[in-house]
Structure 1
Amino acid sequence: MSNQLRIGSSIYINYILLGMINLIIALHMGFLTEQLNTDAAAISALISAIGIGKLIALTFAGKLSDNLGRRPMLITACFLYVVFLVAIPFAPTYTIAFMFALLAGMGNSILDTSSYPALIEVFRKRSSSATVLVKAFMSVGSTILPLMITFFMARDMFYGYTFFIMAGIFLINALHLMTLKFPEANRLEEPKEETKQDKKPIKRLIFKEKPKFLREGITVIAIGFTSVGLFLIIQTWLATYAEEVVGLPEAQAINLLSVYSFGGFATVIILATLLDRLFRPITALIIYPLIAIAALTTLLFVESYTILIIIAFILGMATSGLFQLAVTLMAQFFPEKKGTSTAFVTLSSSIGFITLPYVTGLINRHIGVSYVFMFEIIIALIAVVLAAFISYRYRKVFDLEVRKPVMWRNP
């Protein structure tokens, strides 16, 4: 196996495990409530601690990734997760468990700010596809974890075995990463003279003018926020809407979420196949929210379970992978600071994860769940406006007709 594929495999394995970690506290809530002598609300706060740790680490993770390189940061993230996964099943008090949850959140930020830039630098010709696949592997992890938990529960085995298996894989992966050679971080390729022997020149981005953080950067960061809103709100409230407004039984309402997740997995595979070949990330960032607006509007006027299944699948397809596309776009605008730019987009998504559930909860409490989806339509409209603006700036910043490696051209 080539060094390139080994790096990609290691990163994707980490994200399979991260897909499991995102659910592991919630799915072990009963065990942890008893172990830590607390209640479900406190365990929910434990999940929030992971988000807090993520925000803390974002203040330094991106810069360290750019300065120290991707490999040491990836290895650090693996070891932080090993500590978290081994410690939680043995945590004697809630305070100690909370501290280790903060550690897991820090590992998440370090993983993101090193993995996305590494994928972009390793798979230069297919960077958009490489980053979008992260979402697919996270979906694999979120599918595997319930099966593991069911296996151990059926045999009345200690719940911590799930944690220990994941810790073991992280440890092995960290040792494997130590043997790999990564490309130089943030290396900008120098242009090469094209010759007659160049039968298949590769289309690369060349700058016509230097992008500005307060213009292109802030816009992509805002897209990172809206991309989280588009899938998080649907994931949180779709089943509730189906039960309370449409009147579906609980089992059918939950089934809509499975269909939604399947649609998301399908679109990630489609994006990974077609991106950088047929269209650029910016195209998907415009088209997908438009599809979401149409599906959400239809959702508010139908009561047929069959049609709701179709809508759920379309919403899954239209709202998945957008965050990864925003990360790729940010790295294209600011290739000399990939780790730092990734940290900014991740920061906006973290703010979305913290604020949007609270805001939509208030909307549901005071005026009803239907208005939650009207709020979602507004977010989708904002996403379209942001994507249209960044598409305009994309054509201004990059010379899309030039077939040369990435370089700076003075305006």
Structure 2
Amino acid sequence: MESNLTVKAPTIHRARLAWSLYINYFIHGFGLIILSQNMTSLGAAWNSPLKIVSFVISGVGIGRLLSYLITGFLADLFSRKAFVLLGMSAYLAFAIGIPFSHNIYVAYFFAILAGIANSALDAGTYTTFVELNGGNGAATILIKAFMSAGEFVLPLLIAQLTANGLWFGWSFMTMAALVVINFVLILPLSFPLPNQSPAQEGSGEKKVKPNWVTMIALVLYGYTSMAVMIWFTQWISLFAADSLNFSDGQAHFLLSLYSLGSISGVMLIFALVNHH
């Protein structure tokens, strides 16, 4: 006997939800480089050499590695909105915790939280964009543009703090404030129900066998390109200041220029994808 009860689809404010999700990745752009851009100040605060600060930064990757394989499954099983809010909460704890940490082990814990935040945001965001657009994933390309925008703004902010002799922690407090504001904006919004993109079951389409060579090649490409990006963004400002005799402002601005190139590439790819 069929039940007469039906699940009422939530009212989706598509534009507001999309912008809130994009803002999360603007904040994530801060999170990706905020430790490396403050390495000297953090080393002084922790009374530790740069290699120890670099070790703490590795905690972000550990956090991602520990959580990435399960967050997507759990977000599908429970709630994508919950995982977006979880990611934002973890980033808030990271942004507040790092500048007040005087122990590298505590700082390492907060760095791991940043990695978990990244995984949780990805788990709840990418699928949401696909479902918001009826199965079309082109909107997810712009996520990288907003990340790069955050990476463009943060070095300029840190350069201003340094030039005016202000506490380095204000960059973290700015990140925390952005998280809180966006949390308030996104909390009342409804997310699309899971698996609302056009169904493939029963469509008569033949399942495509995975191409393992292509899959492995893409995994290796993704790993190496991400590794090069992290290596570059972590050390370019220090290299410019120590080896090229750039001023602090010029060294930070160098990373902002890199981010401009990243934004340009993303927008070009987005235009090409939409054109086809």
TM category (shorter chain) comes to: 0.7 to 0.9
Aligned equivalents of 1:217, 1:115: Cα separation in 2: 27
Counterpart residue number, 1:208: 205
Whether the 8 Å CA contact 2:59–2:111 is kept in 1: the answer is yes
Aligned-pair CA distance for 1:257? 7.6
Quick one: which of 166, 173, 183 aligns to 1:164?
Answer: 173
Q: How does 1:373-392 map to 2 (within 5 A)?
A: none
Report the CA distance shift for 1:260/1:235 in structure 2 as closer, same or farther (over 3 A). Answer: farther
Whether the 8 Å CA contact 1:69–1:184 is kept in 2: the answer is no
Whether the 8 Å CA contact 1:17–1:166 is kept in 2: the answer is yes
Aligned-pair CA distance for 1:161? 1.2
Counterpart residue number, 1:138: 147
Instruction: Provide the aligned length of Structure 1 versus Structure 2.
Output: 249
Aligned equivalents of 2:176, 2:146: Cα separation in 1: 18
Report the CA distance shift for 1:256/1:171 in structure 2 as closer, same or farther (over 3 A). Answer: closer
Give SS of 1:58's match: helix
Report the CA distance shift for 1:42/1:190 in structure 2 as closer, same or farther (over 3 A). Answer: closer
CA RMSD of aligned residues (A): 2.9
Larger C-alpha radius of gyration, 1 or 2?
Answer: 1
Aligned equivalents of 1:234, 1:166: Cα separation in 2: 21
1:149 maps onto 2:147 in alignment: no
1:271 maps onto 2:269 in alignment: yes
Q: How does 1:17-56 map to 2 (within 5 A)?
A: 17-56=27-66
1:97 maps onto 2:95 in alignment: no
Aligned equivalents of 1:221, 1:228: Cα separation in 2: 10
Aligned equivalents of 1:261, 1:229: Cα separation in 2: 19
Aligned-pair CA distance for 1:181? 1.1
Give SS of 1:59's match: helix
Whether the 8 Å CA contact 2:156–2:256 is kept in 1: the answer is no
Aligned equivalents of 2:257, 2:74: Cα separation in 1: 39
Aligned-pair CA distance for 1:125? 6.5
Aligned equivalents of 2:223, 2:186: Cα separation in 1: 30
Residue identity matched to 2:222: S
Structure 2 unaligned blocks of 5 or more? 1-11, 236-242
Residue identity matched to 1:67: L
Report the CA distance shift for 1:231/1:256 in structure 2 as closer, same or farther (over 3 A). Answer: farther
Report the CA distance shift for 1:87/1:262 in structure 2 as closer, same or farther (over 3 A). Answer: closer
Aligned equivalents of 1:148, 1:139: Cα separation in 2: 15
Give SS of 1:209's match: coil
1:107 maps onto 2:117 in alignment: yes
Aligned-pair CA distance for 1:3? 1.1
Structure 1 unaligned blocks of 5 or more? 192-205, 241-248, 279-411
Aligned equivalents of 2:274, 2:216: Cα separation in 1: 22
Counterpart residue number, 2:94: 84
Whether the 8 Å CA contact 1:235–1:257 is kept in 2: the answer is no
Residue identity matched to 1:92: H
Aligned-pair CA distance for 1:123? 2.2
Aligned-pair CA distance for 1:250? 4.4
Using the size of structure 1 for normalisation, the TM-score is 0.55
Residue identity matched to 1:76: L
Residue identity matched to 1:13: I
Report the CA distance shift for 1:224/1:27 in structure 2 as closer, same or farther (over 3 A). Answer: same
1:225 maps onto 2:233 in alignment: no
Report the CA distance shift for 1:70/1:217 in structure 2 as closer, same or farther (over 3 A). Answer: farther
Aligned-pair CA distance for 1:144? 0.3
Q: How does 1:230-241 map to 2 (within 5 A)?
A: 230=225, 232-233=227-228, 236=231
Aligned equivalents of 1:133, 1:64: Cα separation in 2: 24
Aligned-pair CA distance for 1:218? 7.8
Aligned equivalents of 2:114, 2:204: Cα separation in 1: 38
Whether the 8 Å CA contact 1:149–1:159 is kept in 2: the answer is yes
Aligned-pair CA distance for 1:270? 1.8
Using the size of structure 2 for normalisation, the TM-score is 0.80
Report the CA distance shift for 1:12/1:33 in structure 2 as closer, same or farther (over 3 A). Answer: same
Provide, for residues 234-292 of structure 1, a one-character-per-residue CA deviation record: whole Å limited to 9, x for no partner.
7857xx9xxxxxxxx9489x9998776544322211222231432xxxxxxxxxxxxxx
Counterpart residue number, 2:74: 64
Aligned equivalents of 1:60, 1:39: Cα separation in 2: 34
Aligned equivalents of 2:66, 2:206: Cα separation in 1: 34
Aligned equivalents of 2:254, 2:244: Cα separation in 1: 10
